[in-house]
A and B are shown apart, each in its own frame.
Chain A
Amino acid sequence: MEGSSDAVIVARVLRGDVEAYRTLVERYRDQYARYAVHMLGNREDAEEALQDAFTRAYRSLARCEDPERFSAWLFRILVNRCRTMGARRGRRARTFVVDESALTSAAVDHPADGNAWREEIDRALQRLRPEQREAFLLKYVEELGYDEMSRLTGVGVSALKMRVMRACDRLRELLSEVHSA
């Protein structure tokens, strides 16, 4: 089962083998956790988005048109869940901390230390507008092409390029403020 293709596992699940789905969860859990954590800014919400995405994907599995590309289909669901949760978070006006353990250690580290640098990046990332953060993460972290980003998000290529450019400008601005302070 470990070495089976996504399509084979999807077929088994659709035949009623519920436990086969665990292989897909293990296969994509960490890969997509990165996007969710960066997008939502904390592990608690990221895990909730991931669980929700996996459950929704399971429920709609029969509608997955190309089981060979299950991962791309799942990622699209996750991107949408992160959007929804991000909007909900905005309404709650919560303050997010990226990683509690990293933050605790960063508090006593020198700013030049790796943890501190990472913390500043995460803080700057969370200060981007959600659509800019989404475009930046898909382009620079998930390393998708603009066409694939467009299919995934339903946003035109030109608009995505503009969002990425603005995200980069804003990140440079925020991080240079930190270094000049």
Chain B
Amino acid sequence: MDRIARELRQPVRVSSSLDDRVMSAVRQVPPHARASLWSRLTTPRSVMVTPLTWGVLAASLALFAALGAAHAYQDVHRAAAPIAKALFPKADTPQRAQRVQFVLVAPDAKKVAVVGDFNGWDASHAAFQAKHRGGGVWSVTAPVPVGHHRYSFVVDDSVWVADPTAPRAVDNDFGMPNSALVVPNPE
């Protein structure tokens, strides 16, 4: 039986014109790339990506998620405002402010300022310029409205430093370190 099998395993060649006939036949078939949108969407395929592509993709997704969250927050805030106004008329009155002391130890700093959503992230705001108290300790006490805030220190007009004694804010404005601050209502 092995002798028979060996004989039958000999190569068999067919006419090379078969290739042309096959290619002629397949050219009559609509090209795959022009297949229906549905079949293209539902057909699994392999995708090769470089590490750089992954990085760009991840950064894009993070940016997209952050923008989406910001928009969602604004939308919810806008939609909830009339309801809150109806339920809590007192909330419509101007918010009160509390004096808050900000402290940063920065021995090598020449200048320290506090920026946050309460001063328009303005590093030149006069009320939020810290003074050197000695020993590398910088501090400033300034009025901050009641509520939740994000803030940071700006050292020498260039380096953003989150407050090491405060919790880190979730939204870091795409790279700048921010801290979270809650100013309670004095009542």
Q: Assuming A33-B12, A33-B13, is B29 touching A55 (CB within 8 A)?
A: yes
The answer for the CA separation of A38 and B46 in the assembled complex, in Å, is: 37
The count of A-to-B residue pairs whose CB atoms sit within 8 angstroms is 101
Q: Convert B15-28 into 0s and 1s, putting 1 for each residue whose CB lies closer than 8 angstroms to a CB of A.
A: 10011011101110
Q: What A residues does B44 contact at CB under 8 A?
A: 65
Q: Assuming A19-B23, A140-B4, is B18 touching A14 (CB within 8 A)?
A: no
The answer for the CA separation of A34 and B1 in the assembled complex, in Å, is: 18
A168 at the interface (CB under 8 A from B): yes
CB atoms of A25 and B23 under 8 A apart: yes
Partner of B33, one of A16, A30, A51, A59: A16
Q: Which residue of A lies closest to B35 (CB)?
A: A62
A123 at the interface (CB under 8 A from B): no
CB atoms of A54 and B22 under 8 A apart: yes
Expressed in whole angstroms, the minimum distance between the Cβ of B40 and any Cβ of chain A is 8
Main secondary structure of the interface of A (DSSP, over half): helix
**A: interface residue count bin:** 35 or more
Partner of A141, one of B9, B23, B26: B9
B11 at the interface (CB under 8 A from A): yes
Partner of A50, one of B1, B8, B18, B26: B18
CB atoms of A125 and B32 under 8 A apart: no
Q: What A residues does B34 contact at CB under 8 A?
A: 16
Q: What B residues does A59 contact at CB under 8 A?
A: 26, 29
Q: Convert B102-134 into 0s and 1s, putting 1 for each residue whose CB lies closer than 8 angstroms to a CB of A.
A: 000000000000000000000000000000000
Q: Assuming A16-B32, A141-B5, is B46 touching A47 (CB within 8 A)?
A: no
Expressed in whole angstroms, the minimum distance between the Cβ of A9 and any Cβ of chain B is 12
Partner of B7, one of A15, A37, A121: A121
A72 at the interface (CB under 8 A from B): no
A171 at the interface (CB under 8 A from B): yes
Segment 6-62 of B: residues with Cβ below 8 Å from A: 7-15, 18-19, 21-23, 25-27, 29, 31-35, 39, 43-46
**21 A–B contacts, CB within 8 A, in A order:** A7-B46, A11-B46, A15-B33, A16-B33, A21-B23, A25-B19, A30-B13, A30-B14, A38-B8, A38-B12, A43-B14, A47-B14, A47-B18, A54-B25, A54-B26, A58-B26, A65-B44, A67-B46, A140-B1, A140-B5, A175-B4
Q: Which residues of A approach B to under 8 Å, CB–CB?
A: 7, 11, 13-16, 18-19, 21-22, 25-26, 29-30, 33-34, 37-38, 43, 46-47, 50-51, 54-55, 58-59, 61-62, 65, 67, 117-118, 121, 125, 137, 140-141, 168, 171-172, 175
Known contacts A21-B23, A55-B26, then 12 further A-B pairs from the complex at CB < 8 Å, ordered by chain A residue: A22-B23, A30-B12, A30-B13, A47-B15, A58-B29, A62-B32, A121-B4, A121-B8, A137-B8, A140-B5, A141-B8, A172-B1
